[in-house]
Amino acid sequence: MSNVKYNETAEGIRLLCVNTGKFKTNYISIDLFVPIGEDLPAQYVLCSLLAHTSRDYPTFKSFNSKVEGLYGASFDSGVSSYGDNVRLTYCLELPDDRFALYGDKPSEEAIDFLINILLNPFCENGKFDGETAKREVRFTLEDLEAKKNDKRAYALSRLKQLMCEGEKYGVDSEWLENGVCEVTPERLFEAYKNLLSTAQIVVTACGTLSQDMLSEKMTAFAKNIENRKPVKLTSEFVTKPNEVRYFNESMKMMNQAKLVIGIRSGMKNDTDDYYPYRIMTDVFGGGPYSRLFANVREKLGLCYYCGARLIRQKGIIFVQSGIEKDNYGKALEEILNQLTVMKKGEFTDEELESSKKALADAYCGVEDSPMGVCTYYASQCFSDEIISGEEEAQAFLAVTREDVIKCAQRAVVDSVYLLSGEENDE
Amino acid sequence: MNNIKEIKNEILNEKYYEIDHSSGLKIFVYPKENYSSCYAIFGTKYGSTDNCFKAGENGEYITVPEGIAHFLEHKLFESEERGAFERYSETGASANAYTSFDKTCYLFSCTGNFSESLEILLDFVTSPYFTPETVKKEQGIIGQEIKMTNDEPSWALLFTLLKAMYKTHPVSIDIAGTVQSISEITAELLYECYNAFYNLNNMALAVAGNVSIDEVLAVADKILKPSEKKQIERKFENEPKEVVSKYAEKRLSVSRPLFALGYKEDVKGVRRTLKQTLESEIMLDIIAGRTSYLYEKMIESGLINTTFYSEYFEGLGYGAHIFSGESENPEEVRRRIDEEILRLQTEGVDRCEFERIKKKHYGKFIMGFDDVDAVANFLINDYFNGDSSFDGLSILESITFEDINRRLSESIDVNNSSMSVVKAE
C-alpha cells in the first residue's frame, strides 16, 4: 500500500482512500484542523452538537436511529490536540454493502450522512436551536468536568497545562470551562462558520469505497462552503526550558499518587530525528523491556506502571507512574537516573534491539483493520510523502546506538508534577 | 493424533479450524487472507470466582485467598532462567495477559517470528516457577495495582453494585483481591491453583490472522505434553434469589454522581444460553438504548448525559441487566427505568424497534470479525461458554419478537434490583 497518497480535491481538503476488499467493513473519518484559539470553547460544544443533530435528523432519537439503521454503524466524534492545533473528528464504520440484507447500499448513504452533518446542521437564521445549544453546553461541561474522575489522565492534563503555560498546547482548563458556559447559539454558529471556512479538512477512508465517488462528494462539499480560506497549521517546539519546575497538588479520597514528568526532547520540528527519538523513548520507557519497567517497577517494586511516550507534534516526552506518595523521592530519583543512563549510553544492545524489533513489528501490522489503516495514514496527512508501515519499520531498524544517545543528550527535564491524596485521607 | 474440524460461515465467507490436540488442549486456528499480523491467546477456565474448588477424585475442597488467580497470572511471566517478557523481546511480539471473573488469558500479537513467539507462549504458561522471594516482590507491585483500581470510579461502581446484589457468590470479590488478601498468598498455594486449573483439558488456544494450521500444530506438538484429564469441581454457596440491599454508596473524588442499577436475574446456578444473552442485548437496547424514547426523555430533561449505557452481565451462577451513567438524581433514573420496564412488560415491545435493533446486532456481528484480536478473543470466550463463534449469526436470525417479550417477562423483576452510587462528599 505504499502507493497511497492524499489528493487535494479542493484547497485545504485532502482525501485518501484505500480501496480494498479484504475487510468486512468500510471506514471513513473526517478530521477538521484549526489552530487553537479563542473559538476553542465553542468548538468543543460544536463537536458535540454536530454529533447529535443535523437538519435532516434534528432530534436525538431520529439522529441515533439513522446511525443504527445503517446496520449498527459505529459513529464516533471527538476533540483532540494536534500540537498547538485542535482536531475535530467524525468517523463512521459499518458493514460493507455485500452484507446488506435488502439490496441496499448503506455505505454511500453513510458518507452522505457524514457530509451532511457538517454541511447541514440543525440551525436557522444565523444561529443554532436554543434548547439544543443549551443541552450540548451541558454535555460538554459535564464531559470536561468528568476528566477529573480518571486521576491518571487528569494528572497528565494538569502537567501539560502547567508546563506549557503560554503555549497554545497548554490550554487552561478553567478558561475552557468558563468559555463553554458562556457559549450562546449565536456564538456557536459563528464558530461553526469559522471552522468550515478555515479548517484544514482531511478525509481518510478504507474499504470498498470508490475514490472517484468520494472525490466527487468532497468537491461538492467544498463548493457548498462560503468563503473557504484554510489556515496554515503550526506548532511551537520549545527545546530548552529555563529551569526544572516542581508542582504538587492534592485531591480528596485518592489512594495512589500520580507522578508525571514532562521532558523537552530537543526536537525542533516533527521530523527532526523522529525515528531515533521514538526508539530512544521506547528504550527508556516503552514496553516491558524498557529501562523504566525493568527498574522502577520490577527491580525496585515502586509502581504498577511507569512508562514514557513521545508527543511528536510538540517534541515532548511524558513519563507517567502511579506510586505510593511516600515513594515519590525514590521513584523520581530512579526515573531521572534512567534518563541519565540513556544519556550516557549505558543501556544494553539487547534493550536497543528489543525496542527496534517491537516497533518494527508493530508497524508492519498497521494495515490489518480499516480503522488501523485510516488512523495510520491520517497521522501523515500533512506530510509531503506517505510512508507505508513496512517502510517505517525499516526506518526504525536503521536507528543506531549513537543516534539514540544523541537524542537522549538533547532531552531536558522541564517539569515534575505530583498529584496525591490529602494528608487526612486514610 | 490431532482431530481437526473445519467450521464455515457462508455469510461471512470465512472459516476456522477446531482442533482436539493430542495433549488434551483445544486449539482454534482462524486464518485471515492478506493479513500481516497474528494474534494468539492461550487461556484457562479459571478466574477470580474460582476461590473454592477441588481437583482430582480424592481431593478436598480448598478455599484460597481472594485475588490469587490474578496473582498467578503475574507470576507465570517469571522463570528461573529468563522471564517471558525478556524472551518476547527477541521476537518483537507485543505480549500481555488478563484475568477476569472466569478465565485467565495470555496473549501476544506479532507480524514476524510467529512460531518463535507461540513457542514462548506455550512454554512459559506450562512452566510455572514460584518462590517465596518472587511472591513477596509481586505483592508490592500488585498492591500498587489494587490502589490504582481503587481510585477508578467505574471499578468502584461495579464492585459496590455486585456486593449489593450478591450475598455469597464470589463475583462480588475484586478480581485483584485486596492488599490484605494477597499478603496471604504463598508459593505453595499458587502451585495448588496452578495444578488444578492449568491442565490442558481445562484450557484453549486461539490464533487468528496470517497463520496456518501446520504452523500452530508444529509448535503445539513440540511444546505441549499430554495432560491427564482431571475433574475440577467448583463449590459455590447457595446464592439467594433476592439482592442483599437495594442501595449502596461509595465516596470518591468525582465530578458528579455515577450510578449503576442492576436487576438481578434468577439464574438457578447455571449459565445463560447464547440465545438468552443475545435476547438480553436486544431487550436492553429496546428499554433504554440510544434510540429509545426513554433515553431521549432522560437526556432531554437533563437527568442523564451521553455516558449512559446498559449491559448484560452474566457468568456461572450470576446474571444481571445493568444500566449505568452519571446523574445528579440517580433515584429518579431508577424510577423511570422501572416504569419503562413495567410498561413494556405490560404492553409488549414495539415491533419496528425490535426489527431495527435486530438489524443493528446483525451488523455488529459482521463487523466483529475484521480484527484479529477480536476474533481470537471471541473463539476463546465462546468455547469456554460452551458456544461456537459462528452460531451467533444464525441464533440472532432465529430470535423473534415473541422471544423478546418472553425474555423481558422472565428475566427482569423491578422489585429485585440494587443501585450503587459513587459520589464525592
* Whether pLDDT at A421 is above 70: yes
Distance from C-alpha of A35 to C-alpha of A199, rounded to nearest angstrom = 9
Contact: A72, B93; criterion CB under 8 Å:
no
pLDDT band at A1 (very low <50, low <70, confident <90, very high): very low
Exposure letters A221-241 (e unless 16+ CB within 10 A, then b): bbeebeebebbebebebbeee
Identify whether the C-beta of residue A170 lies closer than 8 Å to the C-beta of residue A160: yes
What is the predicted ipTM? 0.93
Q: What integer pLDDT is reported at residue B32 of this predicted model?
A: 96
B305 interaction partners in chain A (CB closer than 8 Å): 138-139, 142-143
Report how far apart the first and last C-alpha atoms of chain A are (Å, whole number). 56
Judged by CB atoms within 8 Å, which residues 273-292 of B form the interface with A? 290-292
- Check CB contact of A392 with chain B, cutoff 8 Å: no
Q: Which of residues 184-203 of B touch A (CB under 8 A)?
A: none
**Contact yes or no for B315/B271 (Cβ under 8 A):** yes
Helix A60-69 vs helix B351-367: crossing angle, to nearest 10: 50
For the cut 60, the answer to whether the pLDDT of residue A2 exceeds it is: no
Q: Which of the residues in chain B have pLDDT under 70? A: 58
The owner of cell 492488599 is B179
Q: Using the structure block, give the residue that is written with the C-alpha cell 474522575.
A: A149
**A333: pLDDT confidence band, cut at 50, 70 and 90?**
very high
How distant is the Cα of B43 from the closest Cα of chain A, in angstroms?
21
- At A424 the pLDDT is 60
What pTM was estimated for this model as a whole? 0.95
d(CA A72, CA A54): 19
Contacts of A353 (CB under 8 A, 6+ apart): none
Look at residue A51 and tell me whether its pLDDT is greater than 80.
Answer: yes
User: Chain B within 8 Å of A177 (Cβ-Cβ)?
Assistant: no
Q: Which of A246, A314, A243, A327 is nearest to A277 (CA)?
A: A314
Cα-based angle A22, A204, A52 (whole degrees, multiple of 5): 110
- Of A217-226, A267-276, B10-19, the one with minimum mean pLDDT is A217-226
Q: CB within 8 A of A233, min separation 6: which ones?
A: A33, A34, A35, A82, A83, A85, A200, A382
pLDDT over 50 (residue A343):
yes
Segment A278-306 mean pLDDT: 93
The pairing of strands B14-20 and B26-31 is antiparallel
Model confidence at A426: pLDDT above 60: no
Which residues, 6 or more positions from A2, have their beta carbon under 8 angstroms from its beta carbon?
A: A386, A387, A388, A390, A391
B331 is catalytic: no
Inter-chain touch A368–B152, beta carbons under 8 Å: no
- What is the per-residue burial (b if ≥16 Cβ within 10 Å, else e) of A151-178? bbebbbbbbbbbbbeebbbbbebeebbe
User: pLDDT tens-digit profile of A76-119?
Assistant: 999 999 999 999 999 999 999 999 999 999 999 999 999 999 99
* pLDDT above 70: residue A156: yes
Chain B positions touching A253 (Cβ under 8 A) are: 251-253, 424
Burial status of residue A406 (CB atoms within 10 A of its CB: 0-12, 13-18, 19 or more): middle
Instruction: Characterize the bridge pairing of strands B38-44 and B309-315.
Output: unpaired
Q: What is the mean pLDDT of residues A385-401?
A: 95
Do B361 and A150 lie within an 8 Å CB cutoff? Answer: no
A365 touches B at CB < 8 Å: yes
Mean pLDDT, all residues of chain A: 94
Query: How distant is the Cα of A421 from the closest Cα of chain B, in angstroms?
Result: 10
CB contact under 8 A, A304 and B367: no
Gap from A337 CA to chain B (nearest CA, Å):
20
Distances (CA, A) of A420 to A170, A258, A278, B408: 22, 6, 30, 46
Residue A5's pLDDT is: 85
* Grid cell listed for B142: 500488585
Q: Exposed/middle/buried for B80, CB within 10 Å: 0-12, 13-18, 19+?
A: exposed
| Beta strand pairing call for B26-31 and B309-315 | unpaired
- Please pick, among B6, B10, B57, B73, the residue that the annotation labels catalytic: B73
* Contact state of A369 with B93 under an 8 Å Cβ cutoff: no
